[in-house]
Amino acid sequence: MMRLARLTAPFAAGLTSGMPKRGYHHGNLRQALVDAALQLIEQRGPTGFTLSEAAKQAGVTPAAVYRHFEGREDLIAEAALQGYEIFGDLMEYAYESGQPSALQAFEATGRAYLAFARKYPGHYIAMFESGVQVNRTAALATVANRANSVLEKAATDLSQHIPEHKRPPASMFSAHIWAMSHGVVELFARNSPGRASPFPPEDLLETGIGIYLRGLGLIAPDD
């Protein structure tokens, strides 16, 4: 019978530190504006800054912004797109790190969600809290679907250990874990007002996934 590995903070740190680093060439104004927006999003939220403030943060004139972005939402959408690219890379890295064990690969993708939210808060907010729709552009939809497909692939692998007549659809399986991970991040990992917990978010996610997988018969009950 499969056992659930502990969801540890050191592992989450390892996920992000082991990934290829992204960067941009000095003098890339478009990327400088995105980076400035990410800082402002993290500090003030997605509606708490103007394009002029993003330009000032990047050290350029407000007029320069419009050579690259139509408006603030367009700038935030680019930040979200880059976030989904990083998130997809992280999910792929997590999935591969758990191979050849279907259980460990699945657990790793769940941990990756929390690790991403901690490591890239500006991107996370642009992706999930800004109101930017993933179908805004074809490119944004593609990168967003890629991240989701990794978790669904991990769920598909793991669900093969469930008898077919009891097996939930992989898309439902992965959606449950996505919702659980998102809930832990939103309520307990991002210092939401009035939502203090005596337990670390990692422990909340671990126990939640453990209960879910035990219910499916994928890990042994605790003695």
Please, how many CA atoms are within 13 Å of residue 170, restricted to the half-sphere of its CB?
A: 15
As a whole number, mean pLDDT of residues 43-52 equals: 90
Residue recorded with tokens 């592992």: 11
As a whole number, mean pLDDT of residues 106-122 equals: 90
Query: What is the reported pLDDT for 111?
Result: 86
Beta strands in the chain (DSSP E): none
Name the DSSP letter for residue 160: T
pLDDT at 14 over 60: no
The pTM assigned to this predicted structure is: 0.81
Say how many C-beta atoms besides its own lie within 10 A of residue 120's C-beta: 20
How far apart, in whole angstroms, are the C-alpha atoms of residue 31 and residue 25?
Answer: 9
pLDDT at 9 over 50: no
Q: Which of 71-85, 136-150, 194-208 has the lowest mean pLDDT?
A: 194-208
Amino acid 205 reads L
How far apart, in whole angstroms, are the C-alpha atoms of residue 194 and residue 89?
Answer: 33
Give pLDDT tens digits for 51-100.
899 999 998 888 888 889 988 999 999 999 999 999 999 999 999 998 89
Please, which pLDDT band fits residue 221 given cuts at 50, 70 and 90?
Answer: low
Please, which pLDDT band fits residue 12 given cuts at 50, 70 and 90?
Answer: low
Instruction: Say if domain 9-18+73-215 classifies as CATH 3.40.50.1370.
Output: no
Task: For residue 7, give the nearest of 139, 87, 98 by alpha carbon.
Answer: 98
Average pLDDT, the chain: 83
How far apart, in whole angstroms, are the C-alpha atoms of residue 41 and residue 122?
Answer: 6
